[in-house]
Structure 1
Amino acid sequence: MPKSYKQVLAQIQKLQKEAESLRSKEVQGVIARIKEAISHYGLTAEDLFGGTRARKSKAPAVAPVEGRKQRKSAAKTVKVARPAKFRDEAGNTWSGIGKRPEWFKAALAAGKTADDLLIRD
C-alpha cells in the first residue's frame, strides 16, 4: 500500500529528530576529544585562534537540516575605505569597486574615457 503525504511528513519529522539526536551525541564526543587535546598539549585560545579572544565561526558546523529555521547573523557589515583609483577635475574620486558614481557616468557620457580619469602615481 502506498504511503500518504501525511505519513511521509511524519517519517521526515521522526528522521529529523533522530538526526538531531545523533548530531548532538557526535558533537559531545568531538568536544570531549578537543578538550582532551587542549589539555594534553597545554594550548591556549591564542594558540588556537591567533588572537587574544576566540572568534565565533560564521559558517554552520554542518549542513542545515531542511525545515529548520536559520539564525540570521548579528554581525554588521564593515565598510573598508579603499584608495581612489579614478578622479575628475572637480576632485570627485572613486575606488573602481561597486556601482559607478554619477560623476563618473557623466564624464564618460561627455567623451572622457576611464583611462582619462585614472589616477596615475
Structure 2
Amino acid sequence: MTTIQELMAQKAALEKQIAEAQRAAKSDAITKVKALMAEYGLTAADLAGKVAAPKAEGGKKVAAKYRDPATGQTWTGRGLKPKWLQSALGAGKSLDDFAL
C-alpha cells in the first residue's frame, strides 16, 4: 500500500508535468498564430476585433427653432437654453414669442 507522502510526491510530479505541457502547448500556439499573422498581414489590433466605427458625416445640423429678434441669435431647442432666452423667459416672455 502506498503512503500519503508517496501519493503527494506523485501529485507534485504530475502537476509539474502538466505545467510543462501547458507551457509547450502555449508556445506552439503562439508560434502558429505569429506565422498566420505574418502570412495574412494581420496586426494585434486585427486580432482584438475592434472595428473602427464609421465616422459621422460632419454631424447633422439641426435647424434653429427659436431666434432672439434683438440680436439674431438662435437656438435649436436642444441642450441647455441660452442665456438670452433664459433672461427673456425670466422677464415674463413665453417660448412661443421666439419661435420661428
The two structures have a TM-score, normalised by structure 1, of 0.40
Which one has a larger percent helix, Structure 1 or Structure 2? 2
The two structures have a TM-score, normalised by structure 2, of 0.47
**Bigger RCO of structures 1 and 2 (CA < 8 A, at least 6 apart):** 2
Larger Rg: 2
